[in-house]
Amino acid sequence: MLTLLKLLKDGRFHSGQALGAALGISRSAVWKQLQKLEVELNLPIHKVRGRGYKLAAPLELIDQGTLADSHYPISIFESLDSTNAEALRGVSAGRAAPFVVVAEQQSAGRGRRGRKWVSPFAQNIYYSLVLRMDGGMHQLEGLSLVVGLAVMSVLRSYDCSSVGLKWPNDLLVGNKKIAGILLELVGDPADVCHVVIGIGINVNMKATNEVDQAWTSMRLETGKEVNRNLVILTLSETLQMYLERHAKLGFSAVQAEWESNHLWAGREVSLIAGVNQVNGTVIGIDPQGALRLSVEGQEKVFSGGELSLRLRNDS
């Protein structure tokens, strides 16, 4: 099916006979594969008698050759349950870190707190980087916030100049989500562990009925199609730079940079942990990346992977 898709990716008409000859199958078999493409990948295919078949629009696929110079070894998949899940399977199988998993599509993409991450085929970036961490918990302090800075830097380099950070794991343009981060640990964080850094970036997505919150994409913000291969290369390079700095100097080295780009600084918020809710005003973050809130006139500090931050009176 992927071979057929590569023949069609130019967005031009191809006859059923030519496609069958290229694939070594009958025209009826071509027709069945085209139907499968439409159903499984949700790719509209135009069919015109006498001209053949074409995709509704040209398609750029993630290309191993283009990514050969990436800072990290990259494995590319047509479809996965999620890149984080595949990365964790790689760790369990003994694959040496660091390595990256990317996919054209996810069937069970995950955000924080078990939320679904909508993952249409060949439109966005679904990226997971695996790192080995030796030497204790301090290397994990503020890690997701450092990754957020790296992703923000990448987005701004592609003309998404209004993107900013929301504690702890989201990147927004105004109140619209453009990217998210999900960190997962396996092993002993006090000794030796692996961390999977999952990153989802809305790149060329223009419309969907599946997202249950305000969202945007690089294409919607810039008005032009974005080359995902180049974004992946830039992302790996930028992550490497920020992660090296974090490993050497700790989160405090980038704390001021993060705070200067926090969109909700000074805002009235609700911090939600399960059934519990704390209302307060955002002061900032501490040197470990924890959130500082003013709650009834007193400063309180919060951290943890299952916390959710929302603007007050924000539906």
Catalytic position from the list 54, 112, 166, 228 = 112
**Angle between the 27-41 and 16-23 helix axes, to the nearest 10 degrees?**
90
177 is in an annotated binding site: yes
200 is in an annotated binding site: no
Q: Is 310 a catalytic residue?
A: yes
Catalytic position from the list 156, 292, 300, 310 = 310
110 is in an annotated binding site: yes
70 is in an annotated binding site: no
With contact defined as beta carbons under 8 Å apart, do 48 and 60 qualify? Answer: no
Spatial CA neighbour of 200 closest among 159, 162, 228 = 228
Q: Is 95 a catalytic residue?
A: no
111 is in an annotated binding site: yes
Give CB contacts under 8 A, 24+ apart, made by 263-270.
263/164, 263/165, 263/166, 263/172, 264/166, 264/167, 264/309, 264/311, 267/311, 267/312, 268/311, 268/312, 268/313, 269/293, 269/309, 269/310, 269/311, 269/312, 270/309, 270/310, 270/311, 270/312
Q: Is 112 a catalytic residue?
A: yes
Catalytic position from the list 54, 166, 177, 228 = 177
83 is in an annotated binding site: yes
Geometric angle at alpha carbon 161, from 173 and 241, rounded to 5°:
100
**Binding-site sequence positions for biotin:** 82-84, 106, 110-112, 177
Catalytic residues: 112, 177, 310
**Binding-site sequence positions:** 82-84, 106, 110-112, 177
